[in-house]
Amino acid sequence: MSLGHDIEHITVSRSSIHRARVKNREEIAMSLSFKPEVPLVLHWDGKLLPSLADGRSLEERVAVLVSGEDTEELLVVPVSADGTGQAVAETVLKLVRESSLEGNIIGMAFDTTAANTGMVQGACIRIERALEKPLVWLACRHHILEVVLKDVFEACMGPSSGPKIALFKRLQNRWPIVDQSRPQPLTPTALSSDEEAHRLEMLGHLKRLLDCGNHPREDYTEIILLSVAYLGGGVPASFRAPGAYHMARWMAKAIYAVKIMLFHDQLEMSRRELAGIRRVAFLLL
C-alpha cells in the first residue's frame, strides 16, 4: 500500500507466489537448455576438493564439459564415488544422458591416467561401450609431451637415480650467483650447414610465435624466450629463477635444459653432463 498498489488485486499468498516462481523458473530453464546440433567432444577431469558438507574431508569431483564448433558448455561438476575408471565413467555418462547428448558425442578429451586409459577398466573404454560407438581419443597433449621430453632427457643423460635431478638441483642452488648478463648462446660457426639452416628456420618460427603474443601459460612464453636467446636471436630483459620440475610441469625439462646451456660456463658440470644437456637442448629445438 505504501508503494501505491491496491493489495486487493495482488496475490500475497506464500504458496501461490511459490507456484508462480516454480513455473517461471521451469520456463526459463527450458529456454536455457543446451541443445546443440553439432558434433561434440566430451571433456572431463577429476580433482580432490574440500567437501561442501563439512569443509574438512575431501571428495572427488569431476568437471564435465562438451565442446564443438562455435559451442562450449560446462555441464556440471558433480561428486564422484571415487577416482576409479568405473566411477568416473558412470558420473560422466549420467550427465551425458541427462542432457540427451549421446548422439552428438564423437570424441573424448582426457588426461592419461590409468583410470582413464586402461583398456579393460578405464573410463574411456567404458564410455565407448556404453555409447555403443567408437570415439576419437584426444589424450591431453601436456601428458603426452611429458613422456616425450622424459624419454629424450633419459636417452641423452641417462635415467635419474631419484625423484630429483642432480643437475637441475645444482642450477637452483647456484642461480642467486649466476651472472644473468652473460648468457652463452649457440655459436653458428660451430654448426654444420644443415644445422645452421635448422637454427635459422627455428629462430624465424619462434619469433613469429612471440609476435602473436597469444600464449595461455607463462611456461610457453618462457621456453620461447629462452630458445630465441639460445639460438642467438636476442636476450630477454630478465630470466626467471628455476622453478619446480615435477611431472605436472611437462615443459620443465626443456626449460631447464636450455637455461643450463645458456649459463653452462658458470655451472660446475662434467664433460659427460655438458655433452648430454647440449644434445637435449639441440634435440628439443
Q: Over the stretch 113-143, which tens digit does the pLDDT of each residue have?
A: 889 999 888 999 999 999 999 999 999 887 7
C-alpha atoms less than 13 angstroms from C-alpha of 182 in its C-beta half-sphere: 9
Out of 116, 139, 162, a domain closes at: 139
Alpha helix stretches (DSSP H) within 189-251: 193-212, 218-230
Query: Quick one: 62 and 194 in the same domain?
Result: no
Contact 63, 45 (CB under 8 A): yes
Query: Quick one: 121 and 154 in the same domain?
Result: no
pTM, whole model, 2 decimals? Answer: 0.64
Quote the cell numbers at residue 35: 541443445
Write down the pLDDT at residue 198. Answer: 87
CATH at residue 53: 3.30.420.10
Q: Rounded to an integer, what distance in angstroms lies between the CA atom of residue 118 and that of residue 124?
A: 8
Q: Domain limits at 220?
A: 142-284
Q: What is the pLDDT along the chain (285 residues), one digit of tens a residue?
A: 888 888 888 877 889 889 999 999 988 877 777 788 899 999 999 988 988 888 788 899 999 999 999 899 898 899 988 889 999 999 999 999 988 899 999 999 998 888 999 988 899 999 999 999 999 999 988 778 877 888 888 888 887 766 678 888 889 999 999 999 999 988 877 788 888 888 889 999 998 888 887 776 788 888 899 999 999 888 888 898 988 776 556 688 889 999 999 999 998 888 888 889 888 888 877
Phi, psi for residue 98 in degrees, rounded to 5:
-60, -30
Strand, helix or coil at 137?
strand
Out of 139, 164, 195, a domain closes at: 139
For 39-108, the DSSP string reads -EEEEEEEEEEE-TTTSSSEEEEEEEEEEETTEEEEEE--EES-SSHHHHHHHHHHHHHHTT-TTTEEEE
Quote the cell numbers at residue 265: 660456463
